[in-house]
Structure 1
Amino acid sequence: METSALKAKAAQIRMDLLTMIHGAKTGHTGGSLSNTDILTALYYRVMKIDPARPKWEERDRFMASKGHSVESLWCILADRGFIPKEELKTFSQFGTRLIGHPNNKVPGIEMNTGALGHGLAISVGMALAAKRDNKSYRVFCLMGDGEQAEGSVWEAAMAGAHYKLDNLVGIIDRNRLQISGSTEDVMGLEPLEEKWAAFGWNVVSIDGNDMDALVNAFEAVPTVPGKPTLVMANTVKGKGVSFAENVPHWHHHVPNDEQLQHALAELSAELERYQQEGQVR
């Protein structure tokens, strides 16, 4: 997909996830909105995947370490054909596969995640396996910025650098808000880029809601031979919905009927604008 089509797709995924959360009356809204552009770039442009063969040995791997923001991922897996779109209506309902965190009973999910701090360690193992088996696939691991307070993240970071895993990409959804407020008030992270660099990673800092920047960063991997890459994706929590942007309350707030219609109208206008942009090009 060209970037104008990717932007339009991200707007549609945001509409889908809001509708899904509204119907289920539960979900992590803010973080799913902030990471939608990241996942759209990966699943529609960058990653080597085949929905018809979710266990294809040569596939790129995606690990949602930030497991609570799964809503955007469910919508993308449905849109890509890993699961039926109708199944989105079962989100968080009794007996569903589409629970509030990634569930590997669903095609396209590598591992159950949810307890923060585990995804990067698993991703290190996957990337190391690729190296030892002479496989060309890459491993992408999405983390939250609040998750950086977990000690296991930094153990995994050391291991990734030690084994020179240049097929590993860590991504931080740096929206600067977590469930209890600002990340810097809860547990100060800065200077975060310098910390990752000190742990031996090549750090690329971008606007994480800029599709061109995302595609360029991900497609450049391995950026530095022999080093894993950390993409610091500076995002806006609640991105795309004016009344939810940068509002901590929307970490897991569910839109009411009126808010849903307002949000869908905003996103529909954005979708139309990007579609027109693509036609002009």
Structure 2
Amino acid sequence: MATAKVTWVEHTEYDEASVHQFYRPLLRSGLAFGASRWLATLQRKCECLAILMSSATVSPNEPTAISQEGKRSMLKLARRMTENFCAGVSASSAREWSKLDGATGSIGEDVRVMARKSVSEPGEPPGVVLSAATSVWVPIAPEKLFDFLRDEQLRAEWDILSNGGPMQEMARIAKGHQNGNSVSLLRASAMSANQSSMLILQETCTDASGSIVVYAPVDIPAMQLVMNGGDSTYVALLPSGFAILPDGPSIGSEHKTGGSLLTVAFQILVNSQPTAKLTVESVETVNNLISCTIKKIKTALQCATPEC
């Protein structure tokens, strides 16, 4: 068997004064940008590619049989969803965050907001889109927090899209040997007999460096087309979700972290007219949504204490 040796050197400079104190231990340890993180990500990607290249079309654990063409189309849509989520929480010279006056949640976290106008963007509804995000520390191990957030049966404890009840997993595509790496299609409980159940596309990814849970409401006819192998390019979605990092060194060592750094982010269409102005009410709505979600998560995990 042929072997290969890869030498990978990363040089990253950053101004620690601009980094929140929550994240400084992670950066100082080298885990945020170091080789351990990249290797963990590469391993997860390789597992995903191996599964996609497999001739098997159905896994015994998948609730619904999906053809290989349907899998590829659904995974392509999920990849776009997750990339848009990451772009929505990452500041850059092209997409800068601004902290609005009064944009502070009821539990004290700083909420950063960013508005953009969507005009004729394929795969995104037209109008004014508001992105809002915040990061908090919670005294829960990253693995436990990830398992809680990705469990469709527990979604009613924090997600208003669940309509107050557990969600049903309609389809799932495994992306690795761990159950936490998958793309799922969830159905929310209908509030009345005359109401159609909402569908939620969700992608969950986890490795030794961290985890994400990303989801978006999706149109039922559009998803039926995608699952049959149709083009997913024009399926409109606005992703929300969570990013979970350990609060200190844990990769490749015996040390286990005491908590997690949880980033919560929402993208919401606040007006279907791209020329509309962003209103204070829209900012307050998404601000309250973030604060309420964090409080519900802490309550469900029994960590709603002042030090949290």
Q: Is the strand fraction higher in 1 or 2?
A: 2
TM-score by length of 2: 0.27
Q: Is the helix fraction higher in 1 or 2?
A: 1
